[in-house]
A = this chain, B = another copy of it.
Amino acid sequence: MKRSEIRDHLLDTAIALFNKHGFHAAGVDLIIAEARVAKTTLYRHFPTKEALILAALQRRDEIVRAEMRSFVETRARDPRERLLLTFDYLEVWFAKDTFKGCPFISAAGEHGAKDDPVFQAAVHHKREVLEYLRELAVAAGIGRPEEIARKINLLHEGAVAVAQITRETSSAQLAKEMARALLAA
C-alpha cells in the first residue's frame, strides 16, 4: 500500500469496526491489527482516538453523501423521482451484510452530550443530508419544500432504524411508498 493511502485506509478500517462493534468497544489495537498498520503510524496521523473517530465520521459523511447524490442523479433527472430514488439507495445499503444501522445515530447514542464533538459531527451529517433533500424538493417545485424535505428525511430515519433492528431491506420500499403518497398529495 502506498503511504499516501494509509490515512484513508485507516479511516475506512476504523469506521467499519466502529460500525461493527461500537465506538468504545472497537479499540485502537483492534483497528491497527485489522488495518495491518503499526500503532505508531496511527498516532502519527491522529493525536487521539477521538480525533480518529471524528476524521472517520467526516470521511464517512463525505462518501455517503457523494454516493447518494451520484446514485440518484445517474438514475433520473426529475427531482421528484430523485427524491424517491434516495430510498433505493437506502435499500442497497441495507442489503450489505456489513449494515448495522447508521453510524451517525450510533455515534450520537454513545456520545450524547450536546457539546460533544462526536455528537456535533452526527448533527452536521444529518443537517447536510436534510439540506440535499431540501434542494431536491425545491427543484421539484413542490409547495412547502422545507416541510416535504423534513418528512422525507423522517422517513429515511425511520427506514434505517427499522432495518437496523429487523435486518431486512423491506423498510426502504415501505418508506418509499409512503414518500410517493406524500409527493402525490
A101, B110: Cβ atoms closer than 8 Å: no
Copies in the complex: 2
Contact of A25 among B21, B24, B153, B181 (CB under 8 A): B24
- Please tell me if A106 contacts chain B, counting CB pairs below 8 Å: yes
Tell me which residues across on chain B come within 8 A of A171, comparing CB atoms.
150, 154
Cβ contacts under 8 Å, A185 to chain B:
181
| B-contacting residues, A152-167, CB 8 Å | 153-162, 164-167
Residues of chain A at the chain B interface (Cβ within 8 Å): 19-22, 24-25, 100-102, 104-106, 108-112, 114, 122-123, 126, 147, 150-151, 153-162, 164-167, 171, 174-175, 178, 181-182, 185
